[in-house]
A and B are shown apart, each in its own frame.
Chain A
Amino acid sequence: MQKEEHPNRHKRQVVQGADMVLNEDQRWSLVDLLAKQTISAGTYKQTVWDVIGELTVKPLTGIPVAFAVLYAFWSVFGSFAGALCTDGFFVKFFDNHFLPWMQAIWPDPNSILYFLFVGDPLADNCFEAFGVLTSGLFIAIGVVLPAVLIFYLMMAILEDSGYLPRLAVLVDTLLHKMGLHGYAIVPTILGLGCNVPAITATRILETKKQRFIMMTLLAIFVPCGAQLGIMLEVIPESVGYVMLFLLIGYVVFGYLLSKIVPGTNPEILIDVPPYHMPQRANITKKLWMRTSGFIINAVPFVLLGVLFINLLYIGGVIQWLSDVFAPVFVHWFGVPKETAGPLIAAFLRKDLAVAQLSNIEMTQYQMISAVVLISIYFPCVATFVVMLKEGWKELLAAVGVLFAVAFIYGGIIHAIGILLGVA
């Protein structure tokens, strides 16, 4: 019976040595013989959970469920990270207590050290100050940590319940048009938490072509949890549009890449495991591992990133870059030339870059364009390193695609803005 369940049995090179005794068909018929003699299935009465398991895979009933799951994901994310932690507690703590205290105790507001670590002496909130210990700590702990924590919690529940493979079945048709298959949804959703594990997860895809497309799309169009968290804080009213632009880009460029990139995109039968009640011990373990990983890896990056950018400001590098690239920014992308600074920050940490954007004077549409640009133009340095591990040729190709896409798509978004009369 199970021959069909074995995906892609044809035209594959057999790698192992000459140990094999049977060919594939003989082996499958032996499996059938063994199974017949050892397995007996009693009459099994279907439970409601089994039926619901099937309903969540069928498009007509499954798509509503997917809508509800994504709604819940985003809603809980916003309520917990935004309303409760950041707005409810951390903004007040950092702006009313920590920032004035730092400004009071750090000596000499005109010194370079003051500029680096505390930032603007007149700032009354932690986004504007932009010092290592003010904005850096606020972004890392006040904004991004709660976002990452709640994201990983929901991610772990989705993973352990067994819903992800069902989502994979649902989106399989769409993803096939993009040269991928349903399982590409797993790295995509992981990437919404952090692109680093997502890049590693692309290995569950079958061919080089699929892995390359997935990796490139991840690096370009999938914003990470840290970036989502800061967007929710800085531009809550525009997050939807940014996500829309990224989603459109993901689909359109996925389709184009599948036409351009050589290689195959074989059908694969998706293995759907049964629903499980997530086990609390496993959830807490994963949550702890990932969150502590974030604290150890990302927090120093945010702080160093602020320091680095402040040094570049002092050295006049950012001013220089802004002037050099001003024509591109202003005329092609339609954003202020000061966007150069955040674009450099984006290489270190995307969350930092978005936070920095919030201090630049611009219209809502320019803000949306700039945030989209920051998302797509280059992966953060940690993602860059894991991509390098997957192969430098792929990385170079991905970076090439990336610049082309950022340039073209940035221009298109500007053009859409002009057509809509909002740019």
Chain B
Amino acid sequence: MSKKAAKILLVGNPNVGKSVIFNRLTGSDAVVSNYPGTTVDYTEGTFISGKQEYTVIDVPGAYSLEARDKAEEVAVRMLHEHRDATVVVVLDATRIERGLYIALETIEMGRSVLIALNMIDMAHDRKISVDDRKLQKLLGVPVVPLTAITGEGIMQLSDMIRKAQASDVKDILARAEGRASEPAQASGCAGC
């Protein structure tokens, strides 16, 4: 691993807890509120995991990567400015669908992706169960369940960041339609 700080972008829908994860990872004081759109500009911080230093960028919430409002414009710009960065797509476990949309868009860009499945506790309370292993298999990128607000799963997330990888959306489509049973890059993800 290089000694240079590796970059991580936290991307996802508004109000899924990106800033909470950011604060948990970096020990920063990004403002956190319970309404969408709290982070309108990006915030940067650093942390160290497994002797590797990471620069984390908390990107404003976006529903898609079509720059429809200022926050999404910033999100798109950040993705383009940091082409070498690992992208952590944060999903709200209680409403995964809309988050998956932007996750797919990121994967289609050929980025190295890790999925953080946040608010697992809330999903549990609402009797929603998410099969994170199945999701991982289908997407071909690591999926880490966590509850950022209490800090549960944050360590796993920081450990898994180096296992983030790119995936091909055509394969995802094939697997989702049941045309291929094994993920093509499963080997790279064997340990996760």
Contacts and interface: CB of A to CB of B under 8 A. Distances in A.
Interface of A: 1-2, 5-8, 12-17, 19-22, 27-28, 30-35, 37-44, 156, 159-162, 164-165, 168, 183, 186, 200-201, 203-207, 211, 271, 273-274, 276, 278-279, 282, 285-286, 289
Interface in B2-40: 13-15, 29, 31-38, 40
A15 B66 CA distance: 6
Given A22-B108, A27-B105, A183 B97 contact: no
Contacts, number: 160
A22 B106 CA distance: 12
Contacts of A271: 13-15, 36
Instruction: Give me the 10 closest cross-chain CB pairs, A-B, nearest first.
Output: A204-B37, A42-B127, A159-B33, A203-B70, A203-B40, A44-B127, A33-B176, A162-B34, A19-B109, A2-B97
B110 interface: yes
A21 B169 contact: yes
B177 A33 contact: yes
B65 A273 contact: no
B34 A159 contact: yes
B126 interface: yes
Given A15-B65, A39-B128, A183-B37, A30 B105 contact: no
B67 to A, nearest CB: 5
B104 A31 contact: yes
A203 B139 CA distance: 33
B108 A21 contact: yes
A28 B129 contact: no
Given A273-B34, A286-B31, 13 more contacts: A1-B97, A2-B97, A6-B98, A15-B66, A15-B67, A16-B105, A20-B105, A27-B104, A34-B139, A37-B138, A38-B96, A44-B126, A206-B68
Contact of A12 (B66, B80, B108, B127): B66
B34 A161 contact: yes
Nearest to A39: B130
Nearest to A160: B34
A30 B34 contact: no
B69 A206 contact: yes
A201 B130 CA distance: 34
B135 to A, nearest CB: 5
Contacts of B130: 38-39
B69 A31 contact: no
Contacts of A16: 65-66, 76, 79-80, 105, 109
Contacts of B63: 6-7
Contact of A39 (B67, B96, B172): B96
Contacts of A43: 127
B170 interface: yes
Interface string B62-89: 0111111111010010011000000000
A42 B129 contact: yes
Contacts of A21: 108, 169-170
Contacts of A12: 66, 68
Contacts of B65: 15-16
Interface centre among A17, A41, A160, by most chain B C-beta atoms within 10 angstroms, is A41
B149 interface: yes
Contacts of A30: 104, 169, 172-173, 176
B118 to A, nearest CB: 12
Given A6-B63, A204-B69, A22 B169 contact: yes
Contact of A28 (B96, B101, B134, B169): B101
B127 A41 contact: yes
B142 to A, nearest CB: 15
A81 to B, nearest CB: 23
Contacts of A2: 97-98, 101
Contacts of A15: 65-67, 73, 76
B176 A40 contact: no
Contacts of B71: 203-204
Interface centre among B13, B15, B73, B79, by most chain A C-beta atoms within 10 angstroms, is B15
B96 A35 contact: yes
Nearest to B63: A6
Contacts of A17: 80, 109
A43 B73 CA distance: 39
A162 B36 CA distance: 10
B138 A34 contact: yes
A184 to B, nearest CB: 12
Interface centre among B35, B64, B97, B109, by most chain A C-beta atoms within 10 angstroms, is B35
B152 interface: no
B89 to A, nearest CB: 13
